[in-house]
């Protein structure tokens, strides 16, 4: 990754960057609202296929703030990943550029999911911050390729670049084979793809500048 494109300001590692903090709060509040009125939140703010009567344009962003209200692990692992990998990336990019990057990954994941749903004909809602988190994970692997990270299951340490490659291949395998149904694997890859394209665009623009 061409680091001069980022607005890098070293800060103490213990500080919680503003955008990460805001995203954690927003996801938490949305989760609470889902607990009160799941039908309203899912009907209006989850991502529905284009063929569905429930689809609305704003859903390509809002779905990324919703999680399964009956599965605490869904929101926990997404927010843990955002906090774990996003702090250093926000410090590296600066808050404005990080927010643009994160939302681009969320929207990119939604676009891929809409294409997949249109191809398969499935009519079901998609929700979760995973597309944005996978984009952040990609940026972390590119920015800090040799930093050691630990897998949760199994607890094996590996370099960040291999960690990103491992998860990318797992998502591709599960998406192609249909394993672990009910998870939008191609949307996760879409978040990584759009994140990569945006980083390339910023890098090329910086070189031209």
Q: Kindly list the distances between the CA atom of residue 23 and the CA atoms of 60, 99, 165, in Å, as whole numbers in the listed order.
A: 16, 9, 25
Is 2 part of a structural domain of the chain? no
Predicted confidence (pLDDT) at residue 119 exceeds the cutoff of 60 = yes
Is 36 part of a structural domain of the chain? yes
Is 8 part of a structural domain of the chain? no
What is the number of domains present in the chain?
Answer: 1
Average pLDDT of the chain, as a whole number: 88
For residue 16, give the H/E element and its range: none
Is 63 part of a structural domain of the chain? yes
pLDDT class for 179, splitting at 50, 70, 90? low
Is 201 part of a structural domain of the chain? yes
- Closest by CA position to 194, among listed 107, 123, 82, 125: 107
Range of the structural domain that residue 133 is part of: 15-208
pLDDT class for 152, splitting at 50, 70, 90? low
pLDDT in tens, 157-178: 889 999 999 888 888 888 777 6
Predicted pLDDT of residue 155? 78
What's the CATH code of the domain at 153?
Answer: 1.20.1540.10
Question: Which of the residue ranges 101-105, 148-152, 168-172 would you say has the lowest mean pLDDT?
Answer: 148-152
Is 3 part of a structural domain of the chain? no
Predicted pLDDT of residue 9? 46
Predicted confidence (pLDDT) at residue 183 exceeds the cutoff of 90 = no
Whether this prediction's pTM lies above 0.85 is answered by yes
Is 33 part of a structural domain of the chain? yes
């Amino acid at each position: 990754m061409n680091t001069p494109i980022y607005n890098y300001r070293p800060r103490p590692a213990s500080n919680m960057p503003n955008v990460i903090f805001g995203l954690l709060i927003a996801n938490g509040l949305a989760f609470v609202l889902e607990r009160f009125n799941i039908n309203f939140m899912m009907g209006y703010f989850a991502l529905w296929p284009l063929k569905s009567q429930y689809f609305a344009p704003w859903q390509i962003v809002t779905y990324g703030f919703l999680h399964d209200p009956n599965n605490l692990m869904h929101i926990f692992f997404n927010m843990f990943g955002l906090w774990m990998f996003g702090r250093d990336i926000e410090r590296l990019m600066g808050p404005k550029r990080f927010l643009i990057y994160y939302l681009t990954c969320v929207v990119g994941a939604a676009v891929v999911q809409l294409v997949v749903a249109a191809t398969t004909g499935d009519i079901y809602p998609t929700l979760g911050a995973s597309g944005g988190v996978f984009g952040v994970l990609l940026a972390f692997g590119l920015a800090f390729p040799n930093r050691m990270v630990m897998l949760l299951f199994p607890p094996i340490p590996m370099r960040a670049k291999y960690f990103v490659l491992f998860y990318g291949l797992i998502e591709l395998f599960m998406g192609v084979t249909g394993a672990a149904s009910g998870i939008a694997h191609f949307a996760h890859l879409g978040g990584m793809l759009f994140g990569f394209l945006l980083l390339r665009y910023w890098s090329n623009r910086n070189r031209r500048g």
